[in-house]
Amino acid sequence: MINNQIKTFEEYQQAYKRSVEDPEGFWSDIASTFTWHKKWNTTLEWNFEEPNVKWFKGGKLNITENCLDRHLKTRGNKLALIWEPNDPKERFVRYTYRELHEKVCQFANVLKKNGVQKGDRVCIYMPMIPELAFAVLACARIGAIHSVIFAGFSAVSMADRINDAGAKMVLTSDGLNRGSKQIPVKRVVDEALQTCPSVEKVIVVERLGWAVNMVEGRDVWYHDEVKDVSKECPAEEMDAEDMLFILYTSGSTGKPKGVVHTCGGYMVYAQYTFMNVFQYEESDVYWCTADIGWITGHTYLLYGPLLSGATTLMFEGVPTYPDMGRFWQICDKFGVSIFYTAPTAIRSLMSGDIDNVLSYSLDSLKVLGSVGEPINEEAWHWYHTHVGKERCPLVDTWWQTETAGIMISSLANVTPIKPAHAAFPLPGIQPILVDAEGKEITENEVEGYLCMKFPWPGIIRTTYGDHERCRLSYFSTYKGLYFTGDGAKRDENGLYRIIGRVDDVINVSGHRFGTAEIEDAINHNVHVVESAVVGFPHDIKGQGIYAFVICKEKPEREDYLRAEIIETVVEKIGKIAKPDKIQIVSGLPKTRSGKIMRRILRKVAEGDTSNLGDTSTLLDPEVVDEIKAGAL
């Protein structure tokens, strides 16, 4: 069995020391515990200039054999996946490792039958139903590259991602359940595909039983296709550095970029971090509430747990339906022992009646986790006290789509925990703080820009179709370093606290958006001349979206215009990127060279206009008074 688990603080210190002194030996030992068709020739080859990072070069494997086949002998009848539907009255479904293996093989055969081959890109736009998990693993089984798009994105966003990846197929469903609402999904796909010439086939999974438009020759129902396929599908042999998946994420400029992860390194890093951070034990029931459309769902709902032979729970619904006790009811129902969620969910549940938590026993819980954004101390304590009953270690896990897995976090019951601190780096991770010039800050009790000086197996390999963009986004700001885009503090004992993004990325309820991306959407509205978007502190979402908008003419009804602008953003990106506040202005604070001074807009959005700093270099200083006076 693969374990790779550190059990004591001393072991952590030893592992950390070794991982720095002999990174290749360290990771090579861990990688050796997996199933490979052929062992690698070179453990690591790297430079951060191009960048070029290759782990386990020459190694041959298939990640799904490590997720499924290798467990069949010892855990064939153990539960692999528990699926809980949106509506508590609908029955849950459970799959043992043997059953999941069959489902994945069948789905893989359906893909093959419909023309998918190794290296093809397959776009998955599906709700949180078991078929989504089968679909992801089925792609990996046959060496197709999956690109999962969160099913809340708009048709325009989907089309951009499909075209960027040149996807050949889309996997989707008729519709989805979200709390009390039912949402048509296939309709969004149809709209997107009007501008996606690369897509040849669409496979539709039935969830709601709705009649949907099926394009002849292009669209097929999954339940028809699966009828006569075999339950066995040999796994395609992949090179360690072959692409496993693309996942689009926002940066500070331009359209979302396709972050690329590869088979070998991703596998090793997902399993190692899962086992160690959560200290998973064989009888645990593990639940990560993230959607598979985000990296957290990829690594810690699917791959990490399955690679470790764990029982992982997948939930279709939302934390507030049918009431605010839904998460806790599910924990009791399945005896969840490890629970991993986002601060935004905690903050939203905190605002409800405490009885929503207190009416459940939560006795099965052992470990709690937090991910996606900084967790404020109030939320940390509420979660620790009322959910964890002060008995469960609460690990604050810092990482990114680009890092594939957790980078800085306490290891439950092993390393120290401090509220609202991600604490220590995992073995193999070498963070440093630098100042604005890129000079390393070596002392403690400091604040700086968070970078990494050495590669780990899960590091981003490239941005799909545009390697230079990868270099510019992550490896060019500070020479020889991977720049995270986050600012961080290090306390007197060397524990890290992440402050948040220092670039033009806003983190709304744990979802990343580039300000440029939202501005671009707003500017599509016919009435809009120009806009500037900044984040502001929001009680539940962490950050909210504040838009300053210049219009062609002064609108008669500002409320109508606001509604229209919101509509435009929903159409271009999706509901999740709706601005919270829209202020109509006659000008923006610009320097003489035409650059918007976002610093000033951020202060206004934060409601702190007492000290706006130096505004003397502005082209038109009066505009600041107008903006201040009209602040929302």
Which residues of the shown chain bind ligand WTA in the complex (CB under 6 A)? 249, 294-296, 371-374, 396-401, 422, 484-486, 498, 500-501, 507, 512
Strands 175-178 and 52-57: what pairing?
A: unpaired
Q: Which residue type occupies 592?
A: R
Between 136 and 406, whose beta carbon lies closer to ligand WTA? 406
User: If phi over 0 gives left and psi between -120 and 50 gives alpha, with beta otherwise, what is residue 526?
Assistant: alpha
**Could you tell me the smallest distance in angstroms from the CB atom of residue 38 to ligand WTA?**
32
Residue (325 or 374) nearer to ligand WTA, CB: 374
Tell me the pairing of strands 42-47 and 52-57: antiparallel
Distance in angstroms (rounded) separating the CA atoms of residues 379 and 276 = 24
Residue 113, φ and ψ in degrees, nearest 5: -60, -30
Q: Positive or negative CA dihedral for 558, 564, 567, 568?
A: negative
Provide the minimum distance between the beta carbon of 285 and ligand WTA in the complex, in angstroms, as a whole number.
22
Largest Cα–Cα separation, the chain: 74
Q: Which is nearer to ligand WTA, 109 or 249 (by Cβ)? A: 249
Between 104 and 518, name the residue whose CB sits nearer to ligand WTA: 518
Looking at beta carbons only, is 56 or 294 nearer to ligand WTA?
A: 294
Nearer to ligand WTA, 64 or 400 (CB): 400
By beta carbon distance, the residue nearest ligand WTA is 401
| Token reading at 594 | 């035409």
The CA R_g of the chain, rounded to the nearest whole Å, is: 24
Q: Comparing C-alpha atoms, which of 130, 114, 43 is closest to residue 79?
A: 130
Distance in Å, CB of 347 to ligand WTA, minimum: 14
Omega before 621 within 30 of 0, i.e. cis: no
Non-local (6+) Cβ contacts of 404 within 8 A are 261, 265, 266, 269, 270, 295, 299, 457, 458, 459, 460
Residue 151 and residue 118 in contact, taking contact as beta carbons nearer than 8 Å: no
Cβ 293 to ligand WTA shortest distance, Å: 11
Using alpha carbons only, give the angle 282, 285, 290 rounded to the nearest 5 degrees: 125
CB 328, min distance to ligand WTA, A: 22
CA-to-CA distance for 392 and 281, rounded, in angstroms? Answer: 15
Nearer to ligand WTA, 166 or 254 (CB): 254
- The distance of closest approach from Cβ of residue 81 to ligand WTA in the complex, given in angstroms and rounded to an integer, is 22
Peptide bond between residue 322 and the one before it cis (omega within 30 degrees of 0):
yes
| Least distance (Å) between residue 511 CB and ligand WTA | 7
Would you state the structure tokens that stand for residue 121, as one six-digit string? 């890109």
Which residues, listed in sequence order, are joined to residue 447 by a DSSP beta bridge? 489
Instruction: Give dist(CA 523, CA 484) in Å, integer.
Output: 29
Smallest separation, CB 258 to ligand WTA (Å): 13
Q: For residues 497 and 562, which CB has a smaller minimum distance to ligand WTA in the complex?
A: 497
Nearest approach, Cβ of 408 to ligand WTA (angstroms)? 8
Q: Which is nearer to ligand WTA, 202 or 345 (CB)?
A: 345
